[in-house]
Amino acid sequence: MIPGNKDNRDGWLFSLPFLLVFILFMLYPLVHGLVISFFKWNILSDKVFIGLENYKNIFSDEKFYTSLWHTVEFVLITTPVLLVLGFIMALITTSKSPLKKAAENVFFIPYIFSMTVVSTLWAWIFQKQYGILNHVIGMFGIQPVGWLTDPKWAMWSVCIATFWWTAGFNMILMSAGIKQISSEIFESAEIDGANYRQCVFRITIPLLKPTIVLCLILQIIASFNVFGQVYVMTGGGPFGKTRTLIQYIYETGFSYFKMGYSAAMSYILFFIIMIVSVVQYISLGRRSDE
């Protein structure tokens, strides 16, 4: 592009600091973890090489499948809702409403709270006997609901807490994207007589596509990695009906000390996430790059 400058050299030079940290603290332990997955190891004793046996056992492990399903359930519920919520919030914060600044703060602030804070807070709100939510619906004559103890509701309750916690993040990304859309486009549309809905669906969303795709990919990755809030709020219960795959991986590794098996499961999960993300990116991402 620029005569005389060495693109290749510069490209790699600029990437070097990141690569150093990345290789040291992510790649190396990642490969180390992969190696562990071929062994039977309980951390304290010596490793015993068992080849692909861990992976074989995973395929006949019922708990693996149910945990994976719970994670997928979570992804399917939270991804679309969080995208839509984030988008609506972004619309509000980029509108002309006098409340837009307040809205931006209120919607984003939950994101700064840590998982423990959010989870204990919502576990408290959802508490069946003394929590405020059941008190409120009780005022309308509805019987107390086991938000976290009834298998019908448990996953949804955790999802609601997640919406409150992280929708603000999507809002920030999308509102940044919306703000980058030139106001001239909207002005000329208004002159042409377009109403608000048409503006949103014909202009905002199409032009926001790269951001939406980015949010989608990030959201799916994050949702597949769900662990903390489910673990704290329901302990994976009731009777294991909300146990996510990461919780199973965590328990297998850190409570039962079957490190090899745990590592093997994490790699399968990693693989799944990668495939999903690649498929997404190829089908959605490339088109919007033009």
Note whether 5 binds other proteins by CB under 8 A. yes
- Rounded distance, CA 110 to CA 106, Å? 8
Task: Decide: is 92 part of the binding site for other proteins (CB under 8 A).
Answer: yes
Q: Rule CB under 8 A: say whether 28 interacts with other proteins.
A: yes
Residue 53 and residue 263 in contact, taking contact as beta carbons nearer than 8 Å:
no
CA distance linking residue 240 with residue 207, whole number of Å: 43
User: Considering the rule CB under 8 A, would residue 251 count as an interface residue with other proteins?
Assistant: yes
Give yes or no for residue 263 binding other proteins (CB under 8 A). Answer: yes
The reply on whether position 76 binds other proteins by CB under 8 A is no
Near other proteins by CB under 8 A, which window of 20-28, 75-83, 185-193, 200-208?
20-28
Q: Smallest distance from the beta carbon of 192 to other proteins, in angstroms?
A: 18
- In the region spanning residues 41 to 70, those forming contacts with other proteins, defined by CB under 8 A, are 42-45, 57
- Is-contact 65 240, C-beta < 8 A? no
Q: Is 17 in the site for other proteins (CB under 8 A)?
A: yes
Please give the size of the binding site for other proteins, defined by CB under 8 A: 112
In the complex with other proteins, the residue whose CB is nearer, 77 or 110, is: 110
Of 49 and 113, which CB lies nearer to other proteins in the complex structure? 113
Q: How far is the CB of 153 from other proteins (least distance, A)?
A: 10
Of 25-33, 75-83, 186-194, 197-205: span binding other proteins (CB under 8 A): 25-33
Residue 84 in the binding site for other proteins (CB under 8 A)? no
Is 269 near other proteins (CB under 8 A)? Answer: yes
User: Exposed (0-12), middle (13-18) or buried (19+): which is 57, by Cβ within 10 Å?
Assistant: middle
Question: ∠ CA 216-222-228 to the nearest 5 degrees?
Answer: 150
| Stretch binding other proteins (CB under 8 A), from 73-81, 112-120, 187-195, 198-206 | 112-120
Report 166-205 residues binding other proteins (CB under 8 A). Answer: 172-173, 176, 179-180, 182
By CB under 8 A, what part of segment 119-158 binds other proteins?
Answer: 120-125, 127-130, 132, 135, 146, 148-150
Interaction of residue 213 with other proteins, rule CB under 8 A: no
